[in-house]
């Protein structure tokens, strides 16, 4: 079952389109439009005290979701893009998978002055990917605020992610999403989520894809 965090029907339509559209171009464009909507929401939260701002995302989210956010914020944002491999180290004593997202490649503009971190991802489920990104960044930089932003999140994503960090880091977190889903399908994917595998739907190989947004950032 899905719970919406927005009454904006245009946003709900965009989320529906992620599920129904089968065309990668439409899917990409929809993510861009959702990025714009998330950017509008973020714009209402940040102020001059928030600067400088860094935004971190995966390679597959950079050209559409993250780009929509950055364009809408319309300010200088330090961009970090990460390529990861998902690893499994077995199980914990409670039977939960010990999953880890290993960052194997990175593009980072960030410097120690950054005060605000925006972590964005197409969907947050196990939190494995954003966990590694946050761990990497908070161990190097000191932020005043961390926005964790995704169009759709799994119901346990926030609790699970908060559990992985000490209180002084958790206090910085603010989760922003348009919908919370509480179902997983047979493959363990959030349902309806974003309509399946984001890589297949975007038609990108995340390991090899080099986002175009980085071309223009020199």
Partner 1 sequence: MTYLKNKHRGGISAEKGSKYESFYTTFKVVDYLFKTIGVEGDPPEVLFQSQAEAYIDDLLITDDTKLVYHQIKNVADFRWASVEDDFRRQRDASKRAGENYKLVLVYSDREFDEDVPADLEYCTDFSYFPYHPAISTVIQQSSDFRSALKGVLKLSNPSDDKLYALALCILGYWVGNDMQKGLTLRDFKDHIVGNNNISTIFDRDISISDECLRILDSIQGFSYAIKGNSIEWESSRYKNNVTIWSRDLEKRIIRESPHTVNDIVKLM
Task: Give residues in contact with partner 1 (CB under 8 A).
Answer: 87-94, 98, 100-109, 131-133, 135-140, 163-166, 208, 210, 214-215, 217-218
145's tokens? 């605020």
* Closer residue to partner 1 in complex, CB, 44/166: 166
- For the purposes of burial, counting CB atoms within 10 Å of the CB of 39, is it exposed (0-12), middle (13-18) or buried (19 or more)? buried
* Closer residue to partner 1 in complex, CB, 36/103: 103
**Least distance from partner 1 to the Cβ atom of residue 160, Å:** 9
* Closer residue to partner 1 in complex, CB, 45/91: 91
- Whether the link from the prior residue into 52 is cis, omega within 30° of 0, is yes
150's tokens? 């995704």
CB atoms within 10 A of CB 58: 26
103's tokens? 């960052």
Compute the distance between CA of residue 50 and CA of residue 36 in angstroms, rounded to an integer.
19
40's tokens? 């509008």
**Least distance from partner 1 to the Cβ atom of residue 166, Å:** 5
* Closer residue to partner 1 in complex, CB, 135/184: 135
**Least distance from partner 1 to the Cβ atom of residue 109, Å:** 6
């Amino acid at each position: 079952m899905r719970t919406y965090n927005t009454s904006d029907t245009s946003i709900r339509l965009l989320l529906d389109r992620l599920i129904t559209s089968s065309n990668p171009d439409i899917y990409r464009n929809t993510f861009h439009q959702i990025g714009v909507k998330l950017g509008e929401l973020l714009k209402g939260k940040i102020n001059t005290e928030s600067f400088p701002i860094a935004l971190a995302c995966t390679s597959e989210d950079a050209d559409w979701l993250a780009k929509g956010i950055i364009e809408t914020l319309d300010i200088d944002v330090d961009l970090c893009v990460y390529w990861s491999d998902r690893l499994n180290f077995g199980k914990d004593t409670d039977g939960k998978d010990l999953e880890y997202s290993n960052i194997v490649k990175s593009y980072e503009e960030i410097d120690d002055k950054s005060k605000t971190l925006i972590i964005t991802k197409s969907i947050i489920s196990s939190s494995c990917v954003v966990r590694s990104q946050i761990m990497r960044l908070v161990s190097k930089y000191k932020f005043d605020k961390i926005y964790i932003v995704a169009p759709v999140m799994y119901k346990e994503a926030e609790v699970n992610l908060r559990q992985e960090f000490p209180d002084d880091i958790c206090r910085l977190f603010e989760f922003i999403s348009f919908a919370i889903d509480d179902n997983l399908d047979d493959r363990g994917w959030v349902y309806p989520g974003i309509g399946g595998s984001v890589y297949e739907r975007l038609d990108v190989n995340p390991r090899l894809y080099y986002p175009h947004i980085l071309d223009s950032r020199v």
